[in-house]
């Protein structure tokens, strides 16, 4: 894993964003906050609308044919569902050799995208996660062949607008990355959901159970993020011998409980990511 690329471009040069759902909208909002040159969004039903407020820096097009003539992006960012890649990407082959293609589509490989975009396409594959919506995401990035240093810096700037960026050279790792950080927020949300339900079962009123579950997950994550200690050290610090936490962890850390369930969950998500490469 490499360090972040230095000397990020500022302001961000023209971008063609294909797909403006939750993740595309989060990226767009981050770019505009950092200063975005006149750019284009292609989406027949763009969302979230707040990211698309009126301004001279943005044109919204319903499809690739509606992109203004003469617009020359330095990056084309694919934020569409991976299942739609085969029908979406070929329309943007005309930008190969002129722009870097940045994809956040889960499972879609560099080779598979090159087949759709042409041999001259410079492609960077990335996997962000949903905390990007509040600028707290983490994105793992893998460059394809022919990506220049300047194009890497541009992709770094585009992704740094939504959180932390880490680069890897081995594309095969992205399937496991997808399973851990891409899908990971859902695991955390499930923890909050189950903790709330368990609190209610122990007689805690619903509103208080929800507050306790959410704030415990949120505060623990913030503590983990701000601490130099390892996660297991923080866990041990909360676990007094013979106390209530130890009793709970004895259940959760049983071989057939969380350790096995989480391994199976990540393995299942990794396998699905590979299947999406089709």
**pLDDT tens readout for residues 176-187:** 999 999 999 999
CA distance 142 to 177: 11
User: Can you say how many angstroms the Cα of residue 200 is from the centroid of all Cα atoms in its chain?
Assistant: 33
Distance set, CA 164 to CA 50, 125, 203 (Å): 23, 15, 40
pLDDT tens, position by position, 141-166: 999 999 999 999 999 999 999 999 99
CATH of the domain at 270: 1.10.3730.10
- The answer as to whether 82 is a domain residue is yes
CA distance 166 to 125: 12
Determine the pLDDT at residue 2.
Answer: 45
Percent with pLDDT over 70 in the chain: 92
Question: Per the domain annotation, does 32 fall within a domain?
Answer: yes
168 close to 141: Cβ distance less than 8 angstroms: yes
Query: Which candidate, 102, 120, 134, places its Cα nearest to that of 29?
Result: 134
Q: What residues pair up with 105 in beta bridges, in sequence order?
A: none
3 is a domain residue? no
Residue 140 near residue 166 (C-beta atoms within 8 A): yes
Distance CA 121, CA 114 (A): 6
Work out the burial of residue 105: count CB atoms within 10 Å of its CB; fewer than 13 is exposed, 13-18 middle, 19 or more buried: buried
Q: What is the pLDDT of residue 3?
A: 42
Residue 57: the pLDDT is 74
Segments forming the whole domain that contains residue 236: 184-276
Number of independent structural domains in the chain: 2
* Pair (190, 115) in one structural domain: no
Tell me, what's the pLDDT at 6? 46
Q: What is the DSSP letter of 135?
A: T
In a domain, 196, yes or no: yes
CATH number of domain containing 163: 3.40.50.720
Residues 101 and 225 occupy one common structural domain:
no
pLDDT at 4: 43
The predicted pLDDT at position 92 comes to 97
- Whether residue 13 contacts residue 37, with contact meaning beta carbons closer than 8 Å, is answered with yes
Same domain assignment for residues 213 and 149: no
Q: Tell me, what's the pLDDT at 138?
A: 97
Whether residue 218 is found in the same domain as residue 81:
no
0.85 cut: is pTM over it? yes
Final residue before a domain boundary, out of 171, 194, 227 = 171
How much is the pLDDT for 51? 52
Residue 209 CB partners (closer than 8 Å, separation 6+)? 196, 197, 199, 200
201 and 73 share a domain?
A: no
Shared domain for 107 and 41, answered yes or no, is yes
Q: Is residue 100 part of a domain?
A: yes
Pick out the chain residues at pLDDT < 50: 2-6, 50, 54
């Amino acid at each position: 894993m490499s360090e972040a690329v230095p000397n990020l471009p500022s302001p961000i040069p023209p971008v063609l964003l294909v797909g403006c759902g939750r993740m595309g909208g989060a990226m767009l909002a981050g770019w505009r906050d950092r200063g975005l040159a006149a750019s284009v969004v292609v989406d027949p039903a763009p969302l979230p609308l707040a990211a698309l407020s009126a301004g001279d820096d943005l044109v919204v097009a319903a499809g690739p044919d509606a992109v203004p003539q003469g617009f020359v992006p330095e990056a084309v960012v694919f934020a569409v569902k991976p299942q739609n890649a085969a029908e979406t990407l070929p329309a943007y082959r005309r930008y190969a050799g002129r722009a870097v293609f940045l994809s956040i589509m889960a499972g879609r490989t560099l080779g598979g995208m090159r087949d759709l975009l042409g041999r001259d396409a410079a492609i960077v594959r990335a996997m962000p996660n949903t905390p990007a919506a509040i600028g707290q995401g983490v994105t793992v990035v893998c460059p394809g062949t022919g990506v220049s240093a300047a194009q890497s810096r541009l992709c770094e700037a585009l992704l740094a607008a939504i959180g932390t960026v880490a680069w890897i050279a081995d594309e095969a790792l992205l399937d496991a990355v997808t399973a851990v950080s891409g899908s990971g927020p859902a695991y955390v949300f499930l923890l909050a959901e189950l903790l709330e339900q368990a609190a209610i079962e122990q007689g805690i009123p619903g509103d208080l159970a929800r507050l306790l579950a959410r704030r415990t997950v949120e505060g623990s994550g913030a503590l983990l993020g701000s601490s130099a200690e390892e996660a297991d050290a923080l866990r041990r610090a909360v676990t007094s011998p013979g106390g209530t936490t130890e009793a709970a962890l004895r259940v959760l850390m049983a071989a057939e409980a969380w350790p096995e369930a989480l391994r199976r969950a990540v393995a299942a998500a990794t396998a699905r990511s590979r299947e999406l490469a089709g």
